[in-house]
């Protein structure tokens, strides 16, 4: 009997890896579709609306970084998890992945049990957030609705990828309170996901580009805050 009905898309050009992932995901009760490269992955994602996308970096036709960037431009996938699975362990590859909106980055060779544990941790944390964060934050010209992952700025909808949205929501919940990078990493990415501290800076920069740089302030040597004066 299926344990859940979450939909997962696996995009990888290595058939053996795809087969292993598909087998283990379906065993856990996930509904799985696969694609051998990025363009095909995008085509499937637009119809399938996966809640989780496992994405290789080095692929023919379209690489994983460009695929991720285009996935994050699809409004219906703004709440989807994107996890990179890659043989490349260089820091610049990891930074590039998070820069285009990845939620996690796992190096190959893949250990199926550890991967399933990591995936389930993402969904457990999301369920806790969904149960807790149901109200809408209205602050100045912003309306931030966590239940639907929608951001309105002066009644115009602005699309933010999942982690950018969660970062904005978290900071706007307590205006003028300063949070360090470690606090933001723990609250947005979770303690069971290893990401670089620089990831926070990248996401802050991207949020500023979309909402205006005057709202999220840097407190030198400390961290970031959502600045708001009544």
Query: In the chain, where are the structural domains located?
Result: 7-130, 133-226
By C-alpha distance, which of 188, 185, 141 is closest to 162? 188
- Model confidence, pTM: 0.68
Other CB atoms within a 10 A radius of the CB of residue 75 amount to: 12
pLDDT at residue 136 is higher than 80:
yes
| 7-130 and 133-226 agree in CATH topology | no
Weakest-pLDDT range from 2-16, 100-114, 125-139, 201-215: 125-139
Write out pLDDT tens, residues 178-203: 999 989 988 888 766 666 777 888 88
Q: Which CATH number fits domain 7-130: 3.40.309.10, 3.30.70.260, 3.40.50.2300, 3.30.460.80?
A: 3.40.50.2300
CATH class as words, domain 133-226: mainly alpha
């Amino acid at each position: 009997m299926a344990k859940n009905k979450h939909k997962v898309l696996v995009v990888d050009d290595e058939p053996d890896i795809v087969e292993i992932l598909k087998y283990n995901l379906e065993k856990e009760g996930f509904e799985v579709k696969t694609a051998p490269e990025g363009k095909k992955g995008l085509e499937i994602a637009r119809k399938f609306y996966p809640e989780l996308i496992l994405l290789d970096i080095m692929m023919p036709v379209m690489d994983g970084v460009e695929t991720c960037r285009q996935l994050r431009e699809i409004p219906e996938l703004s709440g989807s998890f994107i996890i990179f699975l890659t043989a490349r362990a260089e820091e610049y590859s990891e930074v590039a992945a998070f820069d285009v909106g990845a939620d996690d980055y796992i190096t190959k060779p893949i250990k199926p049990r550890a991967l399933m544990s990591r995936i389930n941790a993402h969904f457990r944390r999301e369920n806790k957030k969904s149960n807790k964060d149901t109200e809408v934050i209205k602050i100045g010209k912003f309306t931030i609705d966590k239940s639907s992952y929608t951001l309105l700025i002066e009644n115009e909808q602005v699309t933010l990828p999942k982690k950018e949205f969660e970062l904005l929501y978290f900071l706007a919940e307590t205006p003028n309170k300063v949070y360090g990078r470690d606090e933001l990493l723990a609250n947005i990415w979770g303690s069971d996901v290893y990401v670089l501290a620089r990831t926070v800076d990248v996401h802050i920069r991207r949020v500023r580009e979309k909402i205006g740089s005057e709202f999220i302030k840097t407190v030198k040597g400390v961290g970031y805050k959502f600045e708001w004066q009544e």
